[in-house]
Structure 1
Amino acid sequence: MKRVLFFLGQLNDRDVEWMITNGSKLTLETGDRLINKGESVDSLYIVLSGQLAVCTNNNETVAKLEAGEIVGEMSFLESRPPSVSVIVTQPTVVYQISREMITARFSTNMEFRANFYYALALFLSNRLRKTTDQLGYGNPEEEDLIDINVLDGVAQAGARFGQILHRFSEV
């Protein structure tokens, strides 16, 4: 399942439309760096197409990111520079929205703020569970379980991700 669905499923249509209107498309070529270790990140990204690699200091790939992944969320939450780099491994298109735009929206819309942070929490929880599973500490019987409250928003989230793809011509 694309993890962006956890995120978009917690926002309402008005907020997703606001994000589409206030974000932009960024086209990247193989070898480009979306994020550099130690350098501040000023945007949140959603991968629309292509592939990225999360790399350590010695360019060891620790994760591959494809369509539907969110990038830059940890630096967004903590306002700290990233501890890894994100490098383009195939031509990639991402949706980007600046931290400045999002924080301005927070100050005028508390519902968006609450939903946005809850959505990021669900997204990060899912990522941590996947990492725990990959390290061999997960519970195989629970691998495909999804909280019913989250599941309710997944169908809508799929349609919302489709809106973003359509708006930026990545369908």
Structure 2
Amino acid sequence: MRKVLYIFGILSDADVAWMAQTGVRRRLGDGDVIIREGESTDFLIFMLEGELLVTTRRLGQIARLGVGEVVGEISLVDSAPPSATITASGNGLALFLDKTKLMHKLDNDAGFGSRFYRALAVFLADRLREARGSSAGNSAISDEMGISEDELDVGILDRVSAAGERFSRMLRTLSNNRISS
């Protein structure tokens, strides 16, 4: 859940409302592949309920992702095909944000673009630190940094309350929208 707090702590209420109104909620069934390694994807995906498995052909399963995680973000940044397959583990619910619509918004709303890319950079930095900590066999990102895996960076702590409220508000907005399958 803390992953979405990084993003929603930086975005404005209007930004999150736009995402909720533009995105499509989709039910996920056990085993549904939402991103396939090597095949381009058209969506940025926010996990709302359930769990995802991340696998690669070379390494097998490399991660489990839960509520508040975002997938498809790396392909959004560099346009390369995904480097992993993302599969639903059990039933779930996700918000699919069309990349074409998102890119249009990023190109035409400088404020949104600035906040979105900053949020994405913070999110990706956290994911990198977490991966480096895991590869070193630590449960903490780095002993020398003094930040444990479940802690938020001090710079984002003051935004956590607002971020949590934004995520809750988005979920309420989405509950009024139709779910596609």
Does residue 1:48 correspond to 2:48, yes or no? yes
Does residue 1:163 correspond to 2:169, yes or no? yes
Does residue 1:34 correspond to 2:34, yes or no? yes
Give runs of aligned pairs for residues 110-129 of structure 1, distance below 5 A: 110-129=110-129
Letter in 1 for 2:91: P
Letter in 2 for 1:4: V
1:101-145 Cα deviation digits (max 9, x unpaired): 111112221010011000000001111111111122642332265
Does residue 1:10 correspond to 2:13, yes or no? no
Shift of 1:147: 3.6
TM-score, length of structure 2 as denominator length: 0.87
| Root-mean-square deviation (Å) | 1.8
Give runs of aligned pairs for residues 80-99 of structure 1, distance below 5 A: 80-99=80-99
Does residue 1:105 correspond to 2:105, yes or no? yes
Q: How far apart, CA to CA, are the structure 2 residues paired with 1:142 and 1:20?
A: 31
The equivalent residue for 1:74 is: 74
- What residue ranges of structure 2 are gaps of 5+ in the alignment? 177-181
Letter in 2 for 1:6: Y
The equivalent residue for 1:154 is: 160
Number of positions where the alignment pairs a residue of Structure 1 with one of Structure 2: 170
Which range moves more in the overlay, 147-156 or 17-26? 147-156
The equivalent residue for 2:147 is: 142
- CA 1:152–1:61 in structure 2 vs 1: closer, same or farther (change >3 Å)? same
Shift of 1:30: 0.5
The equivalent residue for 1:61 is: 61
Which range moves more in the overlay, 10-19 or 56-65? 56-65
Shift of 1:161: 0.8
Indicate if the aligned counterparts of 2:147 and 2:153 stay in contact, CA closer than 8 A: no
- What residue ranges of structure 1 are gaps of 5+ in the alignment? none
